[in-house]
A = this chain, B = another copy of it.
Amino acid sequence: VNPYELIRAKRDGRELSAVEVEYLVSGFAGGTIPDYQLAAFLMAVCFRGMSARETTALALAMMNSGKVFDLSDVPGAKIDKHSTGGVGDKVSLLLAPLVAACGVRVPMVSGRGLGHTGGTLDKLEAVPGFRTDLKPAEFRRCLRRLGVAMMGQTGELAPADKKMYALRDVTATVESIPLIAASIMSKKLAEGIDGLVLDVKTGNGAFMAKPADARCLARTMIGIGKGMGKRVTVLITRMDQPLGNAVGNAVEVVETVAALRGECPEDLRAVALALGQEMLRLGLGTTAAEARARLARAWQDGSALDRFRQMVRAQGGDERIVDDLSRLPQAGFRVPVKSRGAGYVRVMDTLRIGLLAVRLGAGRQRLEDRVDPAVGLWFRKKLGDRVGRGDVLAEVLANRREPGRQIAAELADCYTLGRERPARRNVIVERIAGT
């Protein structure tokens, strides 16, 4: 076996064995297979795809390139949730304490903003003092005490994936379903979890814009989970507008706390409850109805908000933000976005909205950029809403007036209005469960 033969095999559409995939991953991670050979291989994968066996072998090899958490000494079922990324997707912030309050352990390793999408770590760090760089022992302690801990990927977790992702990012080999699936699963399964609920986004703000691609990614990830003996459930959810009303970092924490207090936008509530239900089903073996009842109770009686508060404190954050949201970073300017026409909101260009938020400073254009936690967007009108000329569609929360105005002008262009009210569409598109 040599790298050349494996590149050629993939180029010519032959299936690689698990041993061959493992050889490529460990050689690349260890530096004996150079970047240029792996780059050629990855491009061949973009054209040829990977079989279920190859994809599972890839995820497994990347997982085994680093540490695999052993959480067997933490009692109870450990279930994580992962989203493929969207705009305004603050579900993790809300869901992790909510599900923990229902008795499921949630060991969550999250990421930063990527492209036009936000990242859970960036949002958490908008809370003054909040630390996401937990050591494994701290992570385990939080998990045992509170049932929830949220941290970033360390160099110890799936380092081969980290190195491969960096290479894919500069060689235009990101957009490949098996590579995306294996990358996600290698990290998630290194967390030592018992089961995983995946939120695969589809629509004009998702990486998988087409439902068929989202479904294919879902099935690929379920296949990997099966190959590794873990139960995986996928919900395909709509990402054709920001989820909730806030897009940014501190603003999404504001919306999360408000939601846990009871003021929750309908789409955000629907996604959180649907994902939570699957986590309880996997973790506790409850029926769907029972899971929904428990989640509703924990939400209403304040125990979810309380769990959120405890998590903030445990991870070094200023828990006073929960009672006083003005303690979160505040933007200097609020620029209203006014409608230039009238009608019903028929389309929101969610990809562009995400990119505008990044340009505003809520995400990174380059790896070395710093995120401004205070800036963001706040939407007043969403799909299906009736808008009159001059109505406020949204607000831009900026720290510099001029770019804020420019972005507000462009944000207006992200709306397409029409005469007829569009049909209301369920935010949950489909549920796909592993067997």
Query: Among B7, B11, B167, which residue has its beta carbon within 8 angstroms of that of A36?
Result: B167
Query: Among B11, B38, B170, which residue has its beta carbon within 8 angstroms of that of A46?
Result: B11
With A11-B43, A36-B171, A39-B43 already in contact, 10 other A-B pairs whose C-beta atoms are closer than 8 Å: A34-B36, A35-B36, A37-B39, A37-B170, A37-B171, A39-B40, A40-B40, A40-B43, A40-B172, A43-B47
6 CB < 8 A contacts A-B: A34-B35, A36-B38, A37-B170, A40-B43, A43-B43, A44-B172
Q: Are A40 and B171 in contact (CB under 8 A)?
A: yes
Check if A42 is an interface residue, CB within 8 A of chain B.
yes
Q: SS class of chain A's interface: helix, strand, loop or mixed?
A: helix
Q: How many residues does chain A have at the interface if contact means C-beta atoms less than 8 Å apart?
A: 22
Check if A110 is an interface residue, CB within 8 A of chain B.
no
Q: When each residue 6-38 of chain A gets 1 if its CB lies under 8 Å from chain B and 0 otherwise, what string results?
A: 011001000000000000000000000011111
Q: When each residue 43-62 of chain A gets 1 if its CB lies under 8 Å from chain B and 0 otherwise, what string results?
A: 11011000000000000000
Check if A315 is an interface residue, CB within 8 A of chain B.
no
CA distance A241 to B235 in the complex (A): 61
User: Which chain A residues have a beta carbon within 8 Å of chain B's beta carbons?
Assistant: 3-4, 7-8, 11, 34-40, 42-44, 46-47, 167, 170-173
Contacts of A38 in B (CB 8 A): 36
CA distance A170 to B41 in the complex (A): 11
Contacts of A11 in B (CB 8 A): 43, 46, 172
Contacts of A37 in B (CB 8 A): 39, 170-171
CA distance A304 to B280 in the complex (A): 90
Give min CB distance, A37 to chain B, whole Å. 6
Q: Are A171 and B7 in contact (CB under 8 A)?
A: yes
Q: Which residue of B lies closest to A37 (CB)?
A: B171
CA distance A167 to B4 in the complex (A): 11
CA distance A171 to B7 in the complex (A): 7
Q: Which of A7, A42, A172 has the most chain B CB within a 10 Å cutoff?
A: A172
CA distance A153 to B37 in the complex (A): 26
Query: Among B4, B47, B170, which residue has its beta carbon within 8 angstroms of that of A172?
Result: B4
CA distance A37 to B40 in the complex (A): 9
Contacts of A36 in B (CB 8 A): 34-36, 38-39, 167, 170-171
